[in-house]
Amino acid sequence: MSVVFNFKNHISELFAQALREVASDQTGVTILIERPKQASHGDYACNLAMQLARPMKKSPRDIAQALIAALPKSDVIEKVEIAGAGFINLFLSKAAKQAIVHAVLHAGAGYGHLHLGAGRRVQVEFVSANPTGPLHVGHGRGAAVGDCLCNVLHAAGWNVTREFYYNDAGAQIDNLTRSVQLRCKGVTPDDPSWPEAGYRGDYIADVARAYLAKETIEADDQRTTGSGDVEDLVSIRHFAVAYLRREQDLDLRAFNVEFDVFSLESALYTEGKVEDTVNRLIASGHTYEQEGALWLRTTDFGDDKDRVMRKTDGGYTYFVPDVAYHLEKWRRGFVRVINEQGADHHSTITRVRAGLQALDVGIPKGWPDYVLHQMVTVLKNGEEVKISKRAGSYVTLRDLIDEVGCDATRYFLAARHPDSQLVFDIDLAKSRSNDNPVYYIQYAHARISTVLETWGGERQALLQADFGLLDSEFEIALLQQLIDYPQVIESAAQDLAPHLVAFYLKELAAAFHSYYNASRFLVDDEQVRCARLALIAATAQVMSNGLALLGVSAPEKM
């Protein structure tokens, strides 16, 4: 039997061939292959006959019969049935399911990797925090979702570039500079003269002490030394930004997140790219002057009202450098760009896209893609935690990592759809119970490792196992989970939804724990022992592969 890595794609290809024979003029129809909710309805279902009923002017059941008759022979398919008005249900052969064990063991860490991206370039921008303080839990969610998304896209065959964009210009940086200057002069946030928009966290005092001590800070490719001059705002500004960029980078490294490219908003100004973009927009004819301000006619591109580009004081509104930045992304050759940002950026999407369309440089409508995440609420002892000892006004990413560890922090922050509100329960994340999904999944991997260590044989020998012996209900359920893994990667990559991997791993762990509780592995019968060990070794491999996409470890002992 030929080994199939992706059953869903295989079945889709079979139907594509049948479609060419049954309705050659309808080959543009999207063929959807889905997993039925009830096992009695088969392993996969196809609604193609329902889709073709109207254009072909035939009953779905008649079309379904014709499609089934035209399906090419495949030893993967054991039975095909028509259900209801014309759904086609397909049942995989037991041998095809059993063969997946060999496929997983043979592919190893490569199992689940796809060629959807075909090596094409995609840039993913995420975190992109203002360098005004430590990263908070919201940034942490962006880091987890963004990094996991990059891992999923890489597994799906894309050539991924990770990028961090620092908003190191504007009013917030001015407030940071003033706050550090006041701390250098001995003024504290308790003083009546402290500005309302000033930053009050203890970290500001750390920056001030380092500046006065004339420390040298290295952040990415830049090196800055504090002058100690409390009246030199330019020097304070550069030092404070560099100091906090370094701190944020240390936080991200503790979170196992690294970037390929760092971009600075300030560079867009100093290199004239903002001014050039504005001039291009003016030349495009989509701008106008009104009441001393320069406006972009974003209503030409679907916005509900036009937007100010240059204010009456001569400064640019915040979406203008974003347009310049994304023009640079396009010029760098990124035909696909994905921005992972907080939901508070929702209002900028239409403006940035409108500005890019107005430039008329060939950027497609709807570029770039966006993934927006909602806020995170942190609970401890059943109560919301709102402040950090260091940051003062919010919970930092480092607080969570120090409290529950990197694995739990990454999993919990990435395990739900980004568009949903997230409650991070510290007590649950620290618990060693089946209610904690991280513990539940890692414990499954550790259990398998312990069984295989006790066995002590050569893993290579498992490739020769008689997989036909794997026919219990628990084994069939576990085999189906292994089969599903590549399809989960495909869906996660197509939908930009890395949380699907987290959901899948919980289900895989549940299937294994049920098998473990119902079965013995180190039995006397050598053939049965080898087959069962091969199955759980394949399960551990897929768990390890999936956890790696989430940036979570796969421990061998717990």
| pLDDT beyond 80 at 513 | yes
| pLDDT beyond 80 at 221 | no
Alpha-carbon distance 77 to 285, whole Å? 60
| pLDDT beyond 80 at 106 | yes
Number of alpha carbons in the 13 Å side-chain half-sphere of residue 77: 20
What is the predicted pLDDT for the residue at 377? 96
Question: What does the pLDDT look like over 350-404, one tens digit per residue?
Answer: 999 999 999 999 999 999 999 999 999 999 999 999 988 788 889 999 999 999 9
In a domain, 204, yes or no: yes
Give the residue among 338, 334, 275, 317 at the shortest CA–CA distance from 128. 338
* Amino acid (1-letter code) at residue 348: T
450 and 537: one domain?
yes
Cβ atoms 264, 164 nearer than 8 A: no
Task: Please identify which residue in the block is written with the tokens 């939804």.
Answer: 497
Q: What SS3 state is found at 127? A: coil
Q: Which residues contact 24 (CB under 8 A, 6 or more apart)?
A: none
Other beta carbons within 10 angstroms of residue 484's beta carbon come to 21
Instruction: Please provide the DSSP assignment of 408-419 as one string.
Output: HHHHHHHSS-TT
- Over range 98-115, report the average pLDDT: 96
Number of alpha carbons in the 13 Å side-chain half-sphere of residue 148: 33
Q: What share of the chain is helix, strand, coil (3-state, %, to 5)?
A: 55, 15, 35
105 and 180: one domain?
no
Alpha-carbon distance 457 to 455, whole Å? 6
Q: Which residues contact 22 (CB under 8 A, 6 or more apart)?
A: 52, 63, 66, 67, 70
In a domain, 202, yes or no: yes
Question: What does the pLDDT look like over 441-466, one tens digit per residue?
Answer: 999 999 999 999 999 999 899 999 99
Which of 213, 232, 257 terminates a domain? The answer is 257
In a domain, 273, yes or no: no
Q: Which domain holds residue 34?
A: 7-92
Q: Which residues contact 436 (CB under 8 A, 6 or more apart)?
A: 408, 428, 429, 430
202 and 111: one domain?
no
Cβ atoms 366, 336 nearer than 8 A: no
**What percentage of the chain has pLDDT greater than the value 90?**
92
Alpha-carbon distance 186 to 209, whole Å? 10
The secondary structure of 517-554, three-state, reads: HHCCCCCCCHHHHHHHHHHHHHHHHHHHHHHHHHCCCC
In a domain, 356, yes or no: no
The pTM of the full predicted model, rounded to 2 decimals, is 0.93
Give the alpha-carbon dihedral of 543, 544, 549, 555, to 10 degrees. 110
What is the predicted pLDDT for the residue at 346? 87
Question: What six digits make up the tokens of 483?
Answer: 């089969």
14 and 79: one domain?
yes
Task: Please identify which residue in the block is written with the tokens 């259900």.
Answer: 83
Question: What six digits make up the tokens of 274?
Answer: 């903002």
| pLDDT beyond 80 at 3 | no
Q: What are phi and psi of 384, to 5 degrees?
A: -70, 135
Residues in the chain: 558
Beta bridge partners of 162: 124
Cβ atoms 489, 513 nearer than 8 A: no
In a domain, 342, yes or no: no
Question: What six digits make up the tokens of 64?
Answer: 């379904």
Question: What does the pLDDT look like over 60-81, one tens digit per residue?
Answer: 999 999 999 999 999 999 999 9
Alpha-carbon distance 470 to 531, whole Å? 7
In a domain, 191, yes or no: yes
Question: What does the pLDDT look like over 241-294, one tens digit per residue?
Answer: 999 999 999 999 999 999 999 999 999 999 999 999 999 999 999 999 999 999
Q: Which residues contact 558 (CB under 8 A, 6 or more apart)?
A: 439, 442, 443, 446
What CATH number is attached to the domain comprising 58? 3.30.1360.70
176 and 112: one domain?
no
- Over range 2-6, report the average pLDDT: 65
12 and 43: one domain?
yes
Provide the angle, in degrees to the nearest 10, between the axes of the packed helices 100-107 and 473-494. 50
Q: What are phi and psi of 471, to 5 degrees?
A: -135, 10
13 and 85: one domain?
yes
- Over range 484-505, report the average pLDDT: 97
Cβ atoms 502, 550 nearer than 8 A: yes
More confident residue, 345 or 271: 271
Sign of CA dihedral 491, 496, 501, 503: negative
Give the residue among 152, 146, 148, 145 at the shortest CA–CA distance from 116. 152
| pLDDT beyond 80 at 2 | no
539 and 438: one domain?
yes
What CATH number is attached to the domain comprising 536? 1.10.730.10
Question: What six digits make up the tokens of 250?
Answer: 């240390």
Cβ atoms 324, 277 nearer than 8 A: yes
Q: Which residues contact 74 (CB under 8 A, 6 or more apart)?
A: 10, 14
Domain count, the chain: 3
493 and 531: one domain?
yes
In a domain, 224, yes or no: yes
543 and 446: one domain?
yes
Give the residue among 121, 134, 371 at the shortest CA–CA distance from 252. 134
| pLDDT beyond 80 at 1 | no
Cβ atoms 103, 115 nearer than 8 A: no
Q: What SS3 state is found at 471? A: coil
Cβ atoms 131, 174 nearer than 8 A: no
Mean pLDDT, rounded, of the chain: 95
Which of 230, 257, 284 terminates a domain? The answer is 257
Distances (CA, A) of 386 to 31, 137, 323, 377, 407: 48, 10, 34, 8, 22
103 and 20: one domain?
no
454 and 478: one domain?
yes
In a domain, 194, yes or no: yes
Alpha-carbon distance 547 to 558, whole Å? 16
Which of 205, 233, 257 terminates a domain? The answer is 257
Instruction: Please provide the DSSP assignment of 78-147 as one string.
Output: EEEEEETTTEEEEEE-HHHHHTHHHHHHHHGGGTT---SSTT-EEEEEE----TTSS-BHHHHHHHHHHH
Alpha-carbon distance 555 to 496, whole Å? 27
Give the residue among 225, 222, 295, 233 at the shortest CA–CA distance from 263. 222
What is the predicted pLDDT for the residue at 4? 63
